[in-house]
Amino acid sequence: MLSVYAVLIDGAIYASWLFLVAAGLTVIYGVMRILNMAHGSFYAIGAYAAASLVGWYFNNGVGPVWVGYLMMLGCALAAGLAVGLLIERGLLRFMYGRDEVLMVIITYALLLILEDAMKMVWGVNPYFAYQPYAAMGRSVLAGLKVSNYDLMLVGVSLVIGFALWLWLERTHQGKVLRAVIHDREVAQAMGVNVRRVFTLVFVLGTVLGTLAGALTAPAISVAPGIGVEIIVLAFAVVVIGGMGSIEGAALGALLVGLSRAAAVHYAPQFELFVIYGVMALVLAVRPQGLFGRVLARKI
């Protein structure tokens, strides 16, 4: 019985982390039809930035703990804004309108470049910035010891998820975004500045990615390669949920999180296998994902 609770708790924690990572990916794809393979690198950049800064901060005992948390968020935001703007304005905007697979290859090239850029900036040795994680202590939940930091993560992802949903559904900007998601050309014909929307969305997606990385950094060892590992997972989540859907990303994250937790507890070797098994199952029944839209070709 304890094991089941462990799976549920672990699953929920993992799911919230996955959602944070996948949210940016699905938003960018939904609006821009670009599957950004470099999204994993954004996550990694956020993690590195947070880990190195926070690590320095705590190792030098500079100030109170809560400032450390603020720094984490701050550098995630800064890194996301900088990288997102640089890439969108500096590269991607010249490539719009090109074939979707070509865009994937372009983002793949970006991934290659960023992975080495990170090695150049932060070196190849792992960073451990555990202080924010440890500082929050632990609680006992259903007879199991759970880190409060992980619980906070669940809270944060719920807040962000809700905020995103609210923004998309209730604000004017959100409506404009949904119009572009639905039909880019019609939106443009109705006067929407699609270019500006693209920049906004891409930077938003990037920041969500770096934020996810920064928030996760204290819980993991930040080393080269973490970006690629998560892109494979984030993709599964986005596909299960339906490309471009926030609700889908949430549900997909939950499904993946729970199945992964189950695998880790009962058959760790098949972790990825189980996740992709779930994805294959969903796709077999609903090829466009749970909340995805079918785009039929007109002839």
Partner 1 sequence: MRLDKTELMMLGVAVVLATSGLVAPQWLVFLLTMALAKSLVVQGVVMQMRAGLVTFGQGLYFCIGGYAVGMSGHFLTISDLPTLLLIGVASAVALAMILGLLMTRYREIFFAMLSLAFSMILYGMLVKSPGLGSTDGFNVIAWTLFGWSPASGQAPLALFVIIIAVSAVLAVLLHRYGHSSAGAMCEAIRENEVRVEYLGQSPRWVLYMNYVAAAGVSALGGGFMALAAGHIDPEMAYWITSGEFVFIALLGGTSHVAAPILAAILFAVVRTYAIELVPHSWQMILGVTLLAIIVFLPKGLWSLLSGQARRAKAVEAKA
Which residues, numbered 41-80, are part of the site for partner 1 (CB under 8 A)? none
Cβ atoms of residues 189 and 4 within 8 Å = no
115 binds partner 1 (CB under 8 A): yes
Q: Which stretch binds partner 1 (CB under 8 A): 6-14, 115-123, 144-152, 208-216?
A: 115-123
Question: What are the residues whose beta carbons fall under 8 Å from the beta carbon of 246, sequence distance 6 or more?
Answer: 23, 26, 27, 161, 164, 165, 168
106 binds partner 1 (CB under 8 A): yes
In the three-class reduction of DSSP (H, G, I as helix; E, B as strand; rest coil), residue 297 is classed as coil
Size of the site for partner 1 (CB under 8 A): 43
Strand blocks (E) in 110-237? 138-141, 144-147
Q: Which of 60, 191, 294, 297 binds partner 1 (CB under 8 A)?
A: 297
CA distance between the termini of the chain: 56
Which of 1, 125, 189, 269 is close enough to bind partner 1 by CB under 8 A? 269
As a whole number of Å, the CA-based R_g of the chain is 19
- 156 or 264: whose CB is closer to partner 1? 264
Angle between helices 2-32 and 39-59 (to 10 degrees): 120
The C-alpha angle 93, 95, 97, rounded to 5 degrees, equals 105
By CB under 8 A, tell whether 294 contacts partner 1.
Answer: no
- Choose which of 73, 113, 135, 223 interacts with partner 1 (CB under 8 A): 113
Please select the residue that binds partner 1; options are 110, 164, 249, 262, rule is CB under 8 A: 110
Residue ranges that bind partner 1, judged by CB under 8 A: 35, 91, 98-102, 104-106, 108-113, 115-117, 119-120, 124, 185, 228-229, 232, 235-236, 239, 268-273, 276, 279-280, 283, 287, 297-299
